[in-house]
Amino acid sequence: MAAHVLLIEDEPNIAEAIRFLLTRDGMRVSHAAEGRAALKLLRLDRPDLVVLDHMLPGLSGLEILSAIRADPDSRDLPVMMLTARGRDREMAERAGADRFMTKPFSNAEILAEVRAMLGQPRRNP
Amino acid sequence: MPLSALTGTKLRDRRLLLGLRQADAAAQAGISASYLNLIEHNRRKVTPDVIERLAEVLGIDRAALVDGKDAALVEDLRAAAARSGQDAELDRIQDFVDRFPGWARLLAALDTRGRALERAVEALNDRMTHDPHLSQSLHELLSSLSAVRATAAILAETPDLEPDWAARFHRNLHQDSERLVAGAEALVGFLDAGQGIEEQGIVAPQEEVEDWLRGRLWSIADTDLADGLEDEIGNLASSAARSLARGFLKRARQDAAAVPETAFRAALDDLGPDPLALAEGFATSPLVTMRRLAGVPSLQAGLVLCDGSGTLTFRKPATGFSLPRFGAACPLWPLYAALGRPMQAINARVQMAGQTDRRHRVIAWAETRHPEGLRGPELREAAMLILPDDGIGPVLDVGTSCRVCARAVCPARREPSILAAEGIG
């Protein structure tokens, strides 16, 4: 079965590009543009990996990450964060992000990271 | 007394200029010619009384002979030495100022400039790190850039891209490039916003306002207050200083309404500079009458105000009572005792370190305010009026700020002084 990636990104064009890229690589991609919809999707259709933007309207990326980590069902879910600034990274790391991509990232980089994360055994199995 | 090392030289120069013979000058001043000779060659210490008489005979200002005119410059140089941590010859500052007044002023000016630049760098640094507009603009740019990069890479690297997808990505690319342009323009506009160097904190706003008030001799007539003085405020360089000045004037107008000039003068003649008696007479707060007293030039009163944190929010110096230009003041000031005991007047004679022939009487008073009513925080404000004093009786020893205070033994000292201790040698 195809790996399922949940993409949480408010920039429609970035979301479209990433979605295209991952779908073409054989993954199934769900997309949410903001936090509440994302958390709902997360419960309804459990992903194997979350790609999470840092700067979002409404709930921030960090708040979503904390919510993911607070829920026992998704505590071990691998999360990749898309960040713009260096100092955001430190906070995301503390909040429990597994990997980081700094904007503007290259397609090859993000694809390689996603493949690597999906190929890995789950966090704290 | 803190006579300049070159007081004698100055006296001699002045006498020769007037063409007076030593013996004649001495006779008029009621001292012997040989004593005057020793004084003129800086070999005898002079009592304040003799200085007074000599100054009168020679028609010069006593203050110019002692420490009056250059006191501020000497203070500035002392503070500069304190900040620099260099091993400057602190005991010879007066000598330096006397011999090389131009160089001394240059040094003080360079120190002021250096501090101003430090502040500007801090302000710019703050702006780069915390400015929400800047970080918003950069985020916008990086987002568009990420979209452009990802989209362009798909178009370039996907060999068999379906025409529908290709058209879609081309459209996205176009959109994002437009956003990129708008974002870049916003950023350039922001960085180009033409904020002058003053806006970036070269001069501390409080100092700017104090300079302005000093230029007005700390006094604003009620008619001027009513007028608003917008043109003078407009000349202040930074918007922060303009806003401080407007706040100052607003309060001064309220003070003037509570205690009008003419009635105040009459009451002052009647009661003397007693802020509590005056406040009683006008049914207002002593803080109001203290501020009014500080605006009467003939009283030569200094005034400091501080908030609950002890930070000085207003500084009008009095002759011989130096106020710190930056940082915290002397913890022994009755101002701070009053801050801890609101609504209780403190009336004290004080002696500033390094001012052995001058003393002051200070009156301190503090009040609490609740600008947001019972639900809001309690704020405190304290004021200390500094009056010249020639009375007798015990005095409280105080200083300016520890770093530049010569007091040898002080229970309140929080850091060592750079000055040689007083009362030794």
Say which range, A76-80, B71-75, B330-334, has the weakest mean pLDDT: B71-75
Please indicate, yes or no, if residue B204 is contained in any of the structural domains.
Answer: no
Last residue of a domain, one of B17, B32, B66: B66
Name the DSSP letter for residue A15.
Answer: H
Q: Are B322 and B360 in contact (CB under 8 A)?
A: no
The burial class, CB within 10 Å (0-12 / 13-18 / 19+), for B396 is middle
- Statement to judge: residues B361 and B341 lie in one domain: yes
Q: Which amino acid is at B301?
A: A
CA B284 – CA B281 distance, rounded (Å): 8
- Statement to judge: residues B43 and B149 lie in one domain: no
Q: Please give the share of chain B, as a percent, with pLDDT higher than 70.
A: 90
DSSP code string of A36-98: HHHHHHHHHS--SEEEEESS-SSS-HHHHHHHHHHSTTTTT--EEEEESSHHHHHHHHHHT--
Stronger pLDDT, B110 or B237, i.e. the higher one: B110
Q: Are B359 and B351 in contact (CB under 8 A)?
A: yes
pLDDT tier for residue B320 given thresholds of 50, 70 and 90: confident
Identify the pLDDT of residue A84.
Answer: 64
- Statement to judge: residues B39 and B165 lie in one domain: no
Last residue of a domain, one of B36, B66, B96: B66
Angle of the B239-258 helix axis to the B205-215 helix axis, nearest 10: 50
What are the b/e assignments for B293-329, b being 16+ CB within 10 Å?
A: bbbbeebebbbbbbeeebebebbbbbbbbbbbbeebb
Residues 167-196 of B with CB under 8 A from A: 168-169, 172, 175-176
**Beta-carbon separation of B146 and A104 below 8 A:** yes
Query: What ipTM was reported for this prediction?
Result: 0.85
| Domain that includes residue B152, residue range | 131-191
Question: What's the full length of chain B, in residues?
Answer: 425
Please indicate, yes or no, if residue B212 is contained in any of the structural domains.
Answer: no
- Statement to judge: residues B150 and B43 lie in one domain: no
Q: Is the pLDDT of residue B388 over 60?
A: yes
Instruction: Please tell me the total count of domains within chain B.
Output: 4
Q: Identify any residues that bridge with B315 across adjacent strands, giving them in sequence order.
A: B304
Stronger pLDDT, B357 or B248, i.e. the higher one: B248
What are the b/e assignments for B214-231, b being 16+ CB within 10 Å?
A: eeeebebebeebeeebee
Q: Please give the share of chain B, as a percent, with pLDDT higher than 90.
A: 36
Which residues, at least 6 apart from B260, have a Cβ–Cβ distance to it below 8 Å? Answer: B222
Q: Which amino acid is at B290?
A: M
- Statement to judge: residues B291 and B421 lie in one domain: yes
Average pLDDT over residues B63-85: 73
CA B219 – CA A102 distance, rounded (Å): 59
- Statement to judge: residues B300 and B420 lie in one domain: yes
- Statement to judge: residues B27 and B109 lie in one domain: no
Check if B313 contacts A (Cβ < 8 Å).
no
| 3-state SS record for B72-105 | HHHHHHHHHHHHHCCCCCHHHHHHHHHHCHHHHH
Chain B interface disruption, residue of A10, A14, A24, most B CBs within 10 A: A14
Q: Is the pLDDT of residue A122 over 50?
A: no
CA B247 – CA B244 distance, rounded (Å): 5
Say which range, B186-190, B230-234, B286-290, B320-324, has the weakest mean pLDDT: B186-190
Chain A interface disruption, residue of B136, B146, B155, most A CBs within 10 A: B146
**Contacts with A103 from chain B: Cβ below 8 Å:** 142-143, 145-146
The burial class, CB within 10 Å (0-12 / 13-18 / 19+), for B269 is exposed
- Statement to judge: residues B187 and B319 lie in one domain: no
Average pLDDT over residues A7-12: 92
**Contacts with B165 from chain A: Cβ below 8 Å:** 20
Q: Which of B258, B261, B174, B185 is nearest to B224 (CA)?
A: B261
Please indicate, yes or no, if residue B14 is contained in any of the structural domains.
Answer: yes
CATH number assigned to the domain comprising residue B34: 1.10.260.40
Last residue of a domain, one of B106, B127, B148: B127
- Statement to judge: residues B369 and B409 lie in one domain: yes
- Note the Cα B29 to chain centre separation in Å: 40
Please indicate, yes or no, if residue B105 is contained in any of the structural domains.
Answer: yes
Please indicate, yes or no, if residue B309 is contained in any of the structural domains.
Answer: yes
Please indicate, yes or no, if residue B280 is contained in any of the structural domains.
Answer: no
Q: Are B275 and B385 in contact (CB under 8 A)?
A: yes
Please indicate, yes or no, if residue B347 is contained in any of the structural domains.
Answer: yes
SS3 A111: helix
Stronger pLDDT, B299 or B126, i.e. the higher one: B299
- Statement to judge: residues B295 and B185 lie in one domain: no
Please indicate, yes or no, if residue B210 is contained in any of the structural domains.
Answer: no
- Statement to judge: residues B121 and B136 lie in one domain: no
**Which two three-digit tokens encode residue A72?**
């026992």
Check if B146 contacts A (Cβ < 8 Å).
yes
Q: Is the pLDDT of residue A17 over 60?
A: yes
- Statement to judge: residues B57 and B156 lie in one domain: no
Token pair 């410059």 is found at B73
